[in-house]
Structure 1
Amino acid sequence: MNVGQGRVVVTGGSGKAGKWIVRELLDHGYDVLNVDTRLPEEKLCETVIADLNDLGQVHNALSALGTRDRRPIEAVIHFAAIPQAFTHTNDVTFRNNVMTTYNVLEAAANLGIPKAVTASSESSYGIVYASEFFSPQYLPVDEAHPQLPEDSYGLSKVVNELTGETFNRRTGMQVVSFRLGNILEPSDYPRVIGSFSEPEARKIILWSYIDARDVAAACRMAIEKDGLGAQAMILAADDTSSNVATSELISRYLPGVKENRLPVEGRPSLLCNEKAKQLLGWRQQYFLQENAPY
């Protein structure tokens, strides 16, 4: 994608990760339109208020005719969603996350928008919200690891990845789904850094994290890359959010792991981000250890 040819839509651009995606795109010369249910705290670009559960509204928001200057939309980055389980009833979480994603991709396909990025989650593996904690089958967890959710949030993310594959088959649209680790923005670090030294507190997310600015860079790289087809990619930091060695975390908390290919030394992440590195050229820029007292 060539900068300046058209506009990029960010859904959920008023939210935690979305505002950093908007900033990243603006910093790299893109014209950005935010589509959300609320105005952002800080105006960075034009915002259109729309209910993404309504296909008509989504179609209008993604259409050049729905914007003031009628510039064509070249890509959509879809991050609007209910961001975790159990804040809404199960059916509402599932219906919202699945139908908003379907509507965004349906509208994009109808309008000939060639590229989309969607927000999947590490929760799709099922460990985060499992009624009984279980260990990954092998480490590091990669994109081929079974996705075994029992909650409606994790299930919605699995369905959304399949939806992306469907639209790629139907129209050739490039759809990249990022399986995101626990997203942190700079203001989160002082508040949460204390819990990072307590392994039990972050066991269910396998001690993962990813800075929102690194997420934003990956989203930009995904729309700039051609020929990806439909891809799911883990997006997590290279290291963990614990000061305990990874080998000790595994022996202490993950006795069910059958195969471990992680290094013995250091704090390597339990989530493998190699695919994003290879396909996008993405590299982590923001590390927890630079802000932590260890």
Structure 2
Amino acid sequence: MKKVVVTGGSGMLGHWVVRHFVEQGYEVLNVDTRRPEETLCPTLIADLENLGETYSVLAGADAVVHLAAIPAMNIRTPDVTFRNNVMSTYNVLEAAAGLGIRKAAIASSESSYGIVFAEHRIMPQYVPLDEDHPQLPQDSYGLSKIVNEKTAEMFHRRTGMQVVSLRLGNVIPPDWYERFPSFIHKPEERERILWSYIDTRDAASACRLAIEADGLDAIALNIAADDSSMAIRSRELMAERYPDVTNFRAPLEDYETLFSNERAKRLLGWQPQYQWRNEVGRIEE
């Protein structure tokens, strides 16, 4: 049985990632600054900005999934957000490299493209937005994710460690689907995330596949559902909220995602299983 350390396993996404790895037969250690609400595996409380503590919690692991972070802007001050996210990621990868761990997956974000938290509104240069789209953040959170991706590349060059940076869309746990009817006809409420979302269970499977895959080097992959989070067709969404964007790189005839997940499907063999229309239907039943 392989041992996986999940940092941030007490968080909203982390809980589902821990659950998924446990269900798949892995030995799992959760590392966080607080205990989880539900005990699924052992938990260690640690400060990942402390390199010595980070070495200790990763000892004996075969792989690490690093989710621990300040997860958005305006939770802590910009400098604290940047320092925490960058230093914890550096320390996790430094300790993994020193301990001979060969596989890591880290949580990056759609925010790295700069649209989400932009003080001066910007628009995508093309859609569906893929991993080659310029990353142009105006905020410390988005910048921290770019730095982390570059840190991953550095460790791969130095050690050969495989590090997959998962650019996650808006993460949705199963009990949040009841909120969807309140915004699915209001495109202005979610335009900054290009109406993307990803079920926590699908994000969890992407984390597992990222450490099970071989030969990926250091790579960033968008992780999103196949459809948008809206009850309005994707071309209509773009026409209403981003009318100046004319570079369409897919037909967009229905409710397709505008945050491309094709590369993750191809390289990980990943396929999202959950769509909000089905989940809302289950709640209503």
Q: Partners of 2:246 and 2:149 in 1: how far apart?
A: 27
Deviation at 1:242, TM superposition (A): 0.5
Q: Corresponding residue for 1:108?
A: 96
**For residues 213 and 154 of structure 2, what CA distance do their matches in structure 1 show?**
20
Deviation at 1:192, TM superposition (A): 4.1
The 8 Å contact of residues 184 and 232 in structure 2, kept in 1 or not, is answered as no
1:138-160 CA deviation, whole Å, 9 max, x = no partner?
11100000000010000000000
Residue 33 of structure 1 aligns with which residue?
A: 29
Counterpart-to-counterpart distance in 2, 1:196 and 1:14 = 29
Aligned to 2:203: 215
- Residue aligning to 2:84: 96
3-state SS of 1:260 partner: coil
Counterpart for residue 270 of structure 2: 282
Conserved? CA contact 1:136–1:256, under 8 Å: no
- Where does the alignment leave 5 or more consecutive residues of structure 2 unmatched? none
Q: Which amino acid aligns with 1:17?
A: L
CA RMSD of aligned residues (A): 1.2
For residue 57 of structure 1, the aligned residue among 53, 59, 64 is: 53
State the alpha-carbon separation in 2 of the partners of residues 259 and 268 from structure 1.
Answer: 16
Distance 2:129 2:167 in 1: 11
Q: In the aligned structure 1, how far is the partner of 2:249 from the partner of 2:62?
A: 40
Task: Point out the more displaced range, 19-28 or 184-193.
Answer: 184-193
1:117 equivalenced with 2:105 (yes/no): yes
Distance 2:195 2:132 in 1: 20
Residue of structure 1 in register with 2:191 after alignment? 203
| 2:121 pairs with one of 122, 133, 143 | 133
Distance 1:178 1:196 in 2: 26
SS at match of 2:74: coil
Q: TM-score, normalised by structure 2?
A: 0.97
Q: Tell me, yes or no, if structure 1 residue 245 matches structure 2 residue 233.
A: yes
Equivalent-residue separation in structure 2 for 1:111 and 1:256 (angstroms): 50
Which amino acid in structure 2 is aligned with residue 203 of structure 1? E
Residues 149 and 213 of structure 1, relative CA distance in 2, 3 Å threshold: same
Q: Percent identity?
A: 58
Aligned positions, number: 282
